[in-house]
A and B are shown apart, each in its own frame.
Chain A
Amino acid sequence: MDLEVITTSALGGFLVGLAFVTLLLFNGRFIEVSKIIHLPFRNSIGPKSWAYFFILGLIASGFLFGHFHPEKILNTSTRSLLEVLAGGLFCGVACSLIQDLVPKLRLLNFIGLILLYLGGTTTLLFLKWAGWVL
């Protein structure tokens, strides 16, 4: 494994952790992006403005990162739009079924992560077998 991969992933993981800690410590919320995206469309009671600011922050962050590190955002995959659409639908159904992942350190979540990996590897193997991914 490349040392650069380890250091950049470590820095990335640290920043992601810091993001989670910040929102939890101050606002008492977990970062569950699928829920945050869905929040403006829900008829739930309670303030939603923080969700708009979160979405805005994430979009702005991607823009800034792309501006300063253009080499790191290149899309080198050969996926098609159909795969992106199918992926979005699968993720949407999945998010609705999983609901909250982060707050619980339970065996179920670890089994779930193994299933996530199995689901992904099986899909990629199938796509390669069908000749849809190079």
Chain B
Amino acid sequence: MSFKNLIAFLSAVLLGQGFGHAGLLNPQTVMGFFDLQTPTFNLPLCFLFFLLTFLPAFLLVKSWKHPILEKSWHVERTSNPELLRLLGFLLFGVGMALSGLSPAFALAELSIRPSETIAFLLMLLIGIKITGIIRKQLH
């Protein structure tokens, strides 16, 4: 295992532990965020503390020429029109409210609820593929 792969592995382990401690590995907690009658605040609070941790480091790193283990940054830029991206956000909310999952939560829950998360991930990949095909046809 190379050092870069080890970093990817450790980073994912930290991510999963974070989701777990924030209660986001229970779909009801995620769905509760969208519930106006009995809302749960785990998701927005987790996001707030994520920003407080990540933003200072991001602003610091922004001026660096390259990361520690790589020669360049691997940040892809989007080519989608802004209206389509906004539609994407709306649909993501619909998807999260329906399933209580996001791609990241689903992967972390794979060993906990395998049948449901595999179904979710398969449909996720189908959704990505279909949109990709439609975009190619339109261009």
Candidates A8, A24, A108, A120; contact of B21 at CB < 8 Å = A8
Q: In B1-52, which residues have CB < 8 Å from any A CB?
A: 1-28, 31, 33-36, 40-42, 45-52
A38–B9 CA distance with the chains assembled, in angstroms:
17
B contact face: mostly helix, strand, loop, or mixed? helix
Q: Is the interface of A mostly helix, strand, loop or mixed?
A: helix
| In-complex Cβ contact of A33 among B3, B68, B103 (8 A) | B103
**Interface size counted on chain B using CB atoms at 8 A:** 109
Q: Please indicate the chain A residues that have their CB under 8 angstroms from the CB of B102 in the complex.
A: 33, 91
Chain A interface residue count, Cβ-Cβ cutoff 8 angstroms: 95
- B127 touching A92, Cβ below 8 Å: yes
In Å, the complex CA distance between A116 and B61 comes to 29
Give A4-18 as 1s and 0s: 1 = Cβ < 8 Å from B's Cβ atoms: 011011111111111
In the assembled complex, which residues on chain B have CB atoms less than 8 Å from the CB atom of A113? 89
Given A74-B26, A75-B113, A88-B120, A22 and B11 contact (CB-CB distance below 8 Å): yes
List, in ascending order, chain B residues with CB within 8 A of A87's CB: 94-101, 120, 123
**Chain B residues in the interface with A (C-beta under 8 A):** 1-28, 31, 33-36, 40-42, 45-54, 57-58, 61, 66-70, 72-80, 82, 84-104, 106-113, 116, 119-132, 135
